[in-house]
Amino acid sequence: MNLLVTGGAGFIGSNFIRYILNKYPDYKIINLDALKYSGNLENLKDVDKNPRYGFVKGDICDKKVVDFLAKKRPDAIINFSAMTHVDRSILEPEEFTKTDILGVQTLLEAARKYKIDLFIQISTDECYGSIEKGSFTEESTLSPTNPYSASKAGADLIALAYYKTFNVPVIITRSSNNFGPYQYPEKLIPLFITNLLEDKKIPLYGDGKHKRDWIYVLDNCEAIDYAIHYGKIGEIYNISGNTEKTNLEITAFILNYLKKDETYIEFVKDRPGHDRRYSLNSSKIKKLGWSPKYKFDDALEYTIEWYKNNQSWWKKIKSGEFLEYYKKQYSEI
């Protein structure tokens, strides 16, 4: 297969590209990425010279570049491009609407024009909003609560509309919270690991009892692979790691592994509109034969080790744009 991966220089996209090139020796990938703050070619240094991999710098909102690549008629377009961080979406909501909704529409238009056979939209459990008990299925009502999740829900609806109205062959995957190597250190797990490695405090929002359903990034990559090869057009697939943890539990695990005590926790003001709990029912994708393989504890330990061993990767990030964001974030809370 020839795949056009968009947003492949980000966290999940770069892990997916590496996974596909390793798993399928005859697949080729073109990666279109605007290299905005979290897109980083260092995430793909090891595949850079692979003759089956090519990189194009460009924005999914740019019709010209999208048209140019879609015209080559890849077998599938897989869209990972998105602004993804909730706190950032509270600081700059407009950017999220532009990239996450209009960018996706630009891709869908190109898929429609060049009759692409498969369009995979990578989405998130956050579209469903918070749930007190039980788990969301693919039929649950979308009830996003912040500009990020609203922009992703908007993109999903546009994608489904292109399927229903124009027969663009769309499949949507909605996964729970990912973690693993190359995750930008503004998210809970990499932020806390890297702060502790720098001997800094870790800002826990509110009472720390918010719950997330965690999945190791390579389990998500494999589920997306199943959706590409066995998924049904027009369908949505929830992808869960089946590991529900409070933020306090995640924090305790990281503190313990890095041999730090609770004095490093700084309870800070809660995020506005903070969703209390996310939970997904992923029995639909399990019927395709997928299930998560990685044990949470092992995967989190591996991830901590990765950040320990790749300090130059995240130190560069934390000294630049990230620092500005971080200052802004805390001055506006």
State the nearest-atom distance from the C-beta of 213 to ligand TYD, in Å. Answer: 9
138 is catalytic: no
Q: Of the residues 59, 100, 126, 219, which is catalytic? A: 126
- Total Cβ atoms within 10 A of residue 269: 10
Looking at the Cβ atoms of 66 and 186, the one nearer to ligand TYD is: 186
70 within 8 A of 110, measured Cβ to Cβ: yes
State the nearest-atom distance from the C-beta of 161 to ligand TYD, in Å. Answer: 25
Q: Of the residues 33, 59, 125, 219, which is catalytic? A: 125
Sites of contact with ligand TYD (CB under 6 A): 86, 126, 177, 187-188, 191, 203-205, 210, 212, 247, 271
State the nearest-atom distance from the C-beta of 288 to ligand TYD, in Å. Answer: 25
Looking at the Cβ atoms of 100 and 126, the one nearer to ligand TYD is: 126
Looking at the Cβ atoms of 192 and 226, the one nearer to ligand TYD is: 192
Looking at the Cβ atoms of 50 and 246, the one nearer to ligand TYD is: 246
Q: Of the residues 148, 182, 278, 307, which is catalytic? A: 148
Looking at the Cβ atoms of 163 and 253, the one nearer to ligand TYD is: 253
State the nearest-atom distance from the C-beta of 82 to ligand TYD, in Å. Answer: 12
Burial grade of 164 (CB within 10 A; 0-12, 13-18, 19 or more): exposed
53 is catalytic: no
Q: Which amino acid is at 16?
A: F
State the nearest-atom distance from the C-beta of 109 to ligand TYD, in Å. Answer: 28
State the nearest-atom distance from the C-beta of 210 to ligand TYD, in Å. Answer: 4
Looking at the Cβ atoms of 27 and 257, the one nearer to ligand TYD is: 257
Do the bridges between strand 211-216 and strand 244-246 make them parallel or antiparallel, or are there none, so unpaired?
Answer: antiparallel
148 is catalytic: yes
Active-site amino acid positions: 125-126, 148
